[in-house]
Chains A and B, each alone.
Chain A
Amino acid sequence: SQQGEEDPQALSIQEGENATMNCSYKTSINNLQWYRQNSGRGLVHLILIRSNEREKHSGRLRVTLDTSKKSSSLLITASRAADTASYFCATANIYNQGGKLIFGQGTELSVKP
């Protein structure tokens, strides 16, 4: 069953602007991960945030996690054309679902130069 749902499905911004993508999920989790997929390529891991963490940073990326609302957000600051890609959240619950990663359908981000 699908766990994560990203919002919006598509986002178009200008270079230099910030991009915010949201992810909602349904069951309890141990961690939530964000991945990027460039067109025609595999997924690349961006950030993993554990269920007891509320915020995490990596370069221009900032991820928040609100377990009470079962939601997470990914913020990309000062976006670049090279950030154009699909972004997926994935959740892992080691007690249910065999610990497998369950992916949402992604947000397509387009950054115009």
Chain B
Amino acid sequence: DTAVSQTPKYLVTQMGNDKSIKCEQNLGHDTMYWYKQDSKKFLKIMFSYNNKELIINETVPNRFSPKSPDKAHLNLHINSLELGDSAVYFCASSQVPQMRGNTEAFFGQGTRLTVV
């Protein structure tokens, strides 16, 4: 039973395309996140949702749009993909938002996006 699952695991697409990555958690957590890990393994938060409400929105191009239909799902849609979007995108969840207390994050396996 995968706690945080994201699909697809690999995504190869051409510049200019629009793509989505899906994430689901079965932990009953209130909070979900999207992180981007670059080629140097640097992890940076992009978005965070708490109970379907956006609570963290980092400086990310507006081509990236998160959507949370319910608290167990957080999808990431990317428009007009660029070469620089190539990275590994991780979904994560935590019981409550970090701002409410000391809580660990559970990560999905990652989606390796390659834009050609």
Contacts and interface: CB of A to CB of B under 8 A. Distances in A.
Interface residues of B, number: 26
B12 to A, nearest CB: 16
Interface stretch (B14-22, B62-70, B72-80, B92-100): B92-100
B61 interface: no
A100 B104 CA distance: 11
A37 B44 CA distance: 15
Nearest to A45: B104
B81 interface: no
A98 B56 contact: yes
B101 interface: yes
Contacts of B45: 100-102
Contact of A50 (B4, B42, B102, B110): B102
A2 B45 CA distance: 11
Nearest to B96: A99
Interface of A: 2, 30-31, 33, 35, 37, 40-45, 48, 50, 86, 88, 92, 94, 98-103, 105-106
Given A86-B41, A92-B98, A105-B40, 17 more contacts: A35-B107, A41-B109, A42-B4, A42-B107, A42-B110, A43-B107, A45-B106, A94-B98, A94-B99, A98-B56, A99-B99, A99-B100, A100-B56, A100-B98, A101-B45, A103-B42, A103-B43
